Amino acid sequence: MMIRTLYTLLLALIAPILLWGLYRTKPGKPNFGTRWKEHFGLTPRLTTTTDPIWIHAASVGEAIAIVPVIKALKQSYPEQAIVVTTTTSTGAEQVAKLGDLVEHRYMPIDFSWCVRGFLKTIKPRLLLIVEKELWLNTLSCVHNQKIPTIIVNARLSERSAKRYHSFSFFTHQLLNKIDKILCLHDDDAQRFIDIGAQQHQIAVTGSIKYDITIANTVFEQAQSLRQQLGKQRPIFVAASTHQGEDEQVLDAYQLVQQQFTNALVIIVPRHPQRFDSVAKLAIDRGLNVHRRTDTTPIKANTQLYLADTMGEMLVMLATADVTFMGGSLVGEKVGGHNLLEPAAVAKPAITGPSFYNFEDITQQLLAAGAIEICQDSHQLALQLIALFNDPERQQKMGAQGQRIVLENQGAVDKTVTNISPYLTNH
């Protein structure tokens, strides 16, 4: 109890800063409107009276990752209501794309009174947390009401494991409130055990991120966009870039231009509020920019195509010849992004040296010859030039990546199998 009290006092001190970051207005960021009250446990009732499964997906990445599981659960339990919570408005925007499959609510702040207000209104039968969004008061309130909690697609890097080890008194409080941890890989499972999880809590299901289904419309849209951009032009896409990374991508692009004067780069910023600043950055360098949301025809001299929309990553990846995956050239603060998406559409990929969030996936793709690692913008440019000069190698790397994806699919079925006993025994 003492730990929770100290934790709550600390949270009260930092909550104003967290809320300021959450609510401040940014270009391209949807407003919360009157729904801000949901963060404080003032949650509207659901349209159904059936005890729902509560799925928490903090933001866009988690909301996208859990979609295959939601669809599989609905297929197995068509009458089962599902409510998905996100913390961010961009995550809410992603959940809205699921239509009538789920209802969306905002996640209450991790004060007990906020969480209890949410639980009183929603009355969930089961909580699924995507990846590793663990909040002490939320887990405690849910546990006290005898609602089972399952962590889905759980991963734990060595770096995070060391941090949890340093606060073992706090970590044990968290782990004791969790019924099941569905891990990506054996080493994730071992790290959870090392920090205090019990063997019976752990199952290895694989990553649901391998279970990528590519709709035919993705390739159709990519083919159409490629026709507009120029079929013969060398094109690379910089996906999920962060602040400080776009400059490096443009440095690499301008080096590539010295050998391929007609080369084009597609940039997909990770956060929509950065669309305008990335466009300005390129224009200030004298580049010709065309934005995805611009309905005018794409000009032949376009050098940067800015993907200023959400949910079209696969289309952009399938359009390009080569992919650079962002979040990997900005030091240690991000830790890379998922390289399985370019692999799924059979595209060769390059990542920077920081990929600790996807260590296993990256090493697996690297061993298969599907990706390369660059240390800086200069090496990125050299790797792009080499790949543009070797279409056969592009094709071989893409095929190897796609093979890895297909060989590792099946995690969604394993995940649903582990969830099912908590639904059938209710």
163: Cα separation from own chain's centroid = 22
What phi and psi values does residue 46 have, to the nearest 5 degrees? -80, 165
**Residue 12 parent element (H or E):** helix 2-23
State how far the Cα of 76 lies from the Cα of 341, in Å rounded to an integer.
Answer: 26
Tell me which residue of 165, 192, 188 sits closest to 178, measured CA to CA.
192
Residues 6+ apart with CB under 8 A from 274: 28, 243
Torsion angle of C-alpha atoms 97, 130, 400, 325, degrees rounded to 10: 80
State how far the Cα of 57 lies from the Cα of 85, in Å rounded to an integer.
Answer: 6
Tokens of 59: 């933001």
> Which position has the token pair 């003492």?
2
What phi and psi values does residue 250 have, to the nearest 5 degrees? -70, -35
Which residue type does 355 have? F
DSSP secondary-structure letter at 108?
Answer: P
Q: 337, 326 in Cβ contact below 8 A? A: yes
> How far from 254 is each of 231, 312, 377, 382, CA to CA, in Å?
20, 25, 10, 11
Greatest pairwise CA separation for the chain in angstroms: 66
> How far from 356 is each of 88, 145, 353, 371, CA to CA, in Å?
24, 36, 9, 15
> How far from 347 is each of 114, 321, 322, 382, CA to CA, in Å?
45, 7, 6, 18
Catalytic residues: 62
In terms of phi and psi (left: phi > 0; alpha: psi -120 to 50; beta: otherwise), the region of 331 is left
Torsion angle of C-alpha atoms 239, 242, 246, 251, degrees rounded to 10: -90
Tell me which residue of 200, 202, 184 sits closest to 192, measured CA to CA.
202
State how far the Cα of 267 lies from the Cα of 316, in Å rounded to an integer.
Answer: 9
Which residue type does 327 have? G
Tokens of 286: 């004298």
